[in-house]
Amino acid sequence: MKSKNILFAILLCFLSFSTKALPKKGNKEGIIKVACVGNSVTYGYGLQNRDRDAYPVRLQQMLGEGYEVSNFGHSGATLLYKGHRPYINLPEFHQALNFKPDWVVIHLGLNDTDPRNWPDWKEEFIPNYRALIDSFRTVNPEARILVCKMTPIFDRHSRFQSGTRDWHAQIQKAIEQVAQGADAQLIDLYTPLHSRPDLFPDALHPNPEGAQILARTVYSALTGDYGGLQLPPVYSSGMVLPRNEHLLIEGRADARRRIKAVLSQEGKIVEESGTFTRADGSWAIELPHMKAGGPYTLTFTATPLNPDHYRHFYYPEKYPFLLKNLTKAEAQTLTIDSLYFGDLWLASGQSNMELRVDQCNTLDQDLADAKRLAGRLHLYNMPARARTDAVEWDDSVLRYTNELRHMDFQGWKFASPETVRNFSAVAFNFARVLCDSLPDIPIGIICNAVGGSTTESWIDRSTLEWEFPNILRDWRNGDFGQAWARGRMNQNIAHALDKESPAYNPLQRHPYDPAYLFEAAIAPLGHLPIRGVIWYQGESNAHNIEVHERLFRLLEHSWREFFARRWNCEFQKKPSLPFYIVQLSSLPRPSWPAFRDSQRRLADELTDTWMAVSSDLGDPSDVHYRTKRPVGERLALQALRHTYGHSLESEGPTLDYSLAAQDNTVVLRFNHADGLTCTKGFEIAASDGLFYPANIKIEGNKIHLSSPQVKNPASVRYGWSGFTDADLHNAQGLPASTFCSSTQFYGKGFNILNK
């Protein structure tokens, strides 16, 4: 109470003090005055023509007649009263109060991340913010207050890792508390821009395109116009939704709309659900448990609420024209026809996952299977709109890549010889086996693989900012990315890197960029309730095993967090999203044996992660070997066993333990070892680390290894060459993984040793 009294006294002084208020258009009845309060982002710092491009100017253009928008931004302003440049001490604050705005949009906090401010005075942030809001409500008790979550600060900022990243996140939470406590509307300026670092030349201030996005976001919050009824693009006719579980479908619509969902079959209503849009246009609607089957029709309708619902918030007595605009919209409808309930899978990775059925050596067989599965298997293809071949992209490709429109959302299609030809061979054959093994369950599979893509490109930006920020900074010229991938990227975007080019953009995006493919290919899926992931990638990260081990853990965490996200805490917690990965095949590249072994260890260590071996299928002269049918089948065997609980063999022989004996023989015991066969591929070494080919003797589930050149063997390895002809299989024909194991010998007899 004391702080409010002090504020009021200060406020009276401000109002009595002669200030240079900005010119007004006039005091015509019904004009809504909008004050944009903020720092350099509001002011338009860094824009060559801020009088044209600053977000308040763009906002005025969008709102049009009936509104007067004024820019009260000041560069460097802090919200904190004890900050290095308090907004309340600046002339723009006085001018904003004299403006007596009807609507106040406040975007402050970025400069409070300065080490001079937040560490010492953070406890005063919320009281100071509330006092600032009260000052506007004092000059206009009916003022509508909109509080903005801050725009992003990117990793290129000089203080990003020394405190700015952490303090920015803390201030965002404080702003949410302010909005809730002050009964103010919250505008999220962070999310629409966080995926667009290319729009922030200095990592802090948006360029004209960024200011346009900023203006559009504020416009939507002010007017409730979010572009009408929308669903994520994969929610379309022919899709598969999960069976036997509660579903929460998320979408957007204009604010203050009633959303209704009607599920019907053959014209009969099966279920009806309803909800309302939130202030930010988001909505979520529940569907009940549905048994496998279909087809169904799912219709969504958005209708305006009764005008009385607007009365308090928009003061229609004062602004009758606005009420008319808000209620004149007609109902909007979206319909999903041919909807089935079953199991939905996601296939991602790089070119070996992308490789099409018509590029493989089992084309005729695959097309015959596609014809047989018509009506049961649903495909959604998301190929890249421009391939990352050895070419220079033109201006249009550069532009839509920056706009995160690099993927082509081709819609749901039933499997047929025509649709399967251009679909991923691995993904199709995985789904084919599931269809044959689960004949009563519709199967849907989405493929969004991109040739040459890096692991880091598939991880969300926030995860990288907090867990691996160094990989974000200047990836194109750094050494985290593989030299080949960085070179191909530079070739594709060469036009944007040419300072003489009209398309010059040093921040040009590319699919190999860290976080890019998450933003362009995963985020648009929404929090789709997928059953699991099949993943084939690693060729573009095989140069640095240690970095890949960090990245792959982050990728799994990133996707599990994203796809498990739910609005309703009452929903039963879903099991961890399973990952079924393909180990790299055989190719004469020096780092590949160790990388394959690393993939084996990752699959063994990580939760709900299983691996399919492909090293027996490789081509010594082509990274894109053409025998993909067995890869899809091996992934499906793993899924049938671990996701569906079928009793079948899904693994090749895996090392249980190794022993050493006095007769210079290493004995290996294997699991998944019925019918072991092997003629080559093993090597052993003494403590000197020199490996020699081993003689092989099989006894049940054990293999005895020896070599006349090796006494007291200390290590054993299998399939340890880039291209290997190692042939250890079990009775099911499933191959063993590349591996390396250390051994020790103590006295007489055998000793159990580590893997």
Residues 439-474 have pLDDT tens digits of 999 999 999 999 999 999 999 999 999 999 999 999
CB 387 within 8 A of CB 452: no
CA distance 391 to 339: 40
Is the pLDDT at 425 greater than 90? The verdict is: yes
| Environment class of 449 (CB within 10 Å of its CB; exposed 0-12, middle 13-18, buried 19+) | buried
| Percent of the chain's residues with pLDDT above 90 | 86
The size of the chain, in residues, is: 755
Residues 370-412 have pLDDT tens digits of 999 998 999 999 999 999 999 999 999 999 999 999 999 999 9
CB 48 within 8 A of CB 17: no
pLDDT mean over 596-607:
97
SS (H, E, C) 111-172: HHHCCCCHHHHHHHHHHHHHHHHHHHHHHCCCCEEEEEECCCCCCCCCCHHHHHHHHHHHHH
Is the pLDDT at 193 greater than 80? The verdict is: yes
Q: For position 21, what pLDDT does the model report? A: 33
CA distance 132 to 146: 12
Q: Provide the 3-class DSSP secondary structure of residue 677.
A: strand
Q: For position 30, what pLDDT does the model report? A: 79
CB 104 within 8 A of CB 144: yes
Sign of CA dihedral 63, 67, 73, 79: negative
Domains of the chain are 2-223 (3.40.50.1110), 240-339 (2.60.40), 342-642 (3.40.50.1110), 654-742 (2.60.40)
* Ramachandran angles phi, psi of 252, nearest 5°: -135, 155
Is the pLDDT at 313 greater than 60? The verdict is: no
Helix-then-strand count for the chain, H and E: 24, 26
Q: How confident is the model at residue 334 (pLDDT cuts 50, 70, 90)?
A: very high
Q: What's the start-to-end Cα distance of the chain, in Å?
A: 68
Q: Provide the 3-class DSSP secondary structure of residue 67.
A: strand
CB 206 within 8 A of CB 169: no
User: Exposure pattern of 145-184 as b/e (b: 16+ CB <10 Å)?
Assistant: bbbbbbbbbbbbbeebeeebbebbebbeebbeebbeebeb
Q: For position 330, what pLDDT does the model report? A: 79
Q: Provide the 3-class DSSP secondary structure of residue 738.
A: coil
pTM above 0.85, yes or no: yes
Q: How many CB atoms lie within 10 A of CB 749?
A: 10
Q: Provide the 3-class DSSP secondary structure of residue 317.
A: coil
| Lowest mean pLDDT across 119-123, 575-579, 623-627 | 575-579
Residues 510-561 have pLDDT tens digits of 999 999 999 999 999 998 999 999 999 999 999 999 999 999 999 999 999 9
pLDDT mean over 28-40:
90
The tokens for 504 are 């010059």
Nearest in space to 211 (alpha carbons), one of 457, 92, 46: 46
Is the pLDDT at 750 greater than 90? The verdict is: no
Residues 127-185 have pLDDT tens digits of 999 999 999 999 999 999 999 999 999 999 999 999 999 999 999 999 999 999 999 99
Is the pLDDT at 343 greater than 80? The verdict is: yes
Among the residues of 412-460, which ranges form H helices? 417-421, 425-437
The tokens for 37 are 């309060």
The tokens for 562 are 């994203």
Q: How confident is the model at residue 658 (pLDDT cuts 50, 70, 90)?
A: confident
Among the residues of 198-269, which ranges form H helices? 208-223
β-strands 532-536, 332-349 pairing: parallel
Q: For position 288, what pLDDT does the model report? A: 87
Nearest in space to 433 (alpha carbons), one of 373, 500, 350: 373
| Environment class of 36 (CB within 10 Å of its CB; exposed 0-12, middle 13-18, buried 19+) | buried
pLDDT mean over 13-17:
37
Q: For position 659, what pLDDT does the model report? A: 77
Which H or E run includes 695?
strand 695-699
CA distance 648 to 659: 29
Please name every residue paired with 264 in a beta bridge, in sequence order, or none if there are none: 269, 297
β-strands 32-38, 67-73 pairing: parallel
Which H or E run includes 241?
strand 240-242
The tokens for 675 are 């019918």
CA distance 648 to 638: 9
The tokens for 701 are 């589930």
Q: For position 657, what pLDDT does the model report? A: 82
Which regions of 467-593 does DSSP assign to beta strands (E)? 532-536, 579-582
CB 114 within 8 A of CB 145: no
Is the pLDDT at 608 greater than 60? The verdict is: yes
Is the pLDDT at 564 greater than 80? The verdict is: yes
CB 260 within 8 A of CB 272: yes
CB 454 within 8 A of CB 388: no
The rounded radius of gyration (Å) of the Cα atoms in the chain is: 31
Residues 6+ apart with CB under 8 A from 680: 693, 696, 725, 726, 727
Q: How confident is the model at residue 205 (pLDDT cuts 50, 70, 90)?
A: very high
Sign of CA dihedral 620, 625, 630, 632: positive
Sign of CA dihedral 177, 182, 185, 189: negative
pLDDT mean over 329-336:
89
Relative orientation angle of helices 125-139 and 165-181, to the nearest 10 degrees? 40
Is the pLDDT at 28 greater than 60? The verdict is: no
Residues 276-291 have pLDDT tens digits of 999 899 999 999 899 9
Q: How confident is the model at residue 1 (pLDDT cuts 50, 70, 90)?
A: very low
Mean pLDDT across the chain: 91
Question: Nearest 5°: CA angle at 682, between 678 and 683?
Answer: 160
The tokens for 183 are 């009964």
- 295: preceding bond cis by omega (within 30 degrees): yes
Q: Could you say which DSSP state residue 522 is in?
A: I
pLDDT mean over 647-669:
89
Q: For position 4, what pLDDT does the model report? A: 43
Nearest in space to 247 (alpha carbons), one of 525, 560, 528, 524: 528
User: Exposure pattern of 553-567 as b/e (b: 16+ CB <10 Å)?
Assistant: bbbbebbbebbeebe
| Lateral strand order in the sheet of 185-188 | 67-73, 32-38, 103-107, 144-149, 185-188
Which carries the bigger pLDDT value, residue 524 or residue 571? 524
The tokens for 220 are 């939507």
CB 445 within 8 A of CB 403: no
The tokens for 264 are 């019907």
Q: For position 309, what pLDDT does the model report? A: 53
The tokens for 433 are 């086996």
Q: For position 615, what pLDDT does the model report? A: 97
Q: For position 754, what pLDDT does the model report? A: 43
CA distance 301 to 274: 9
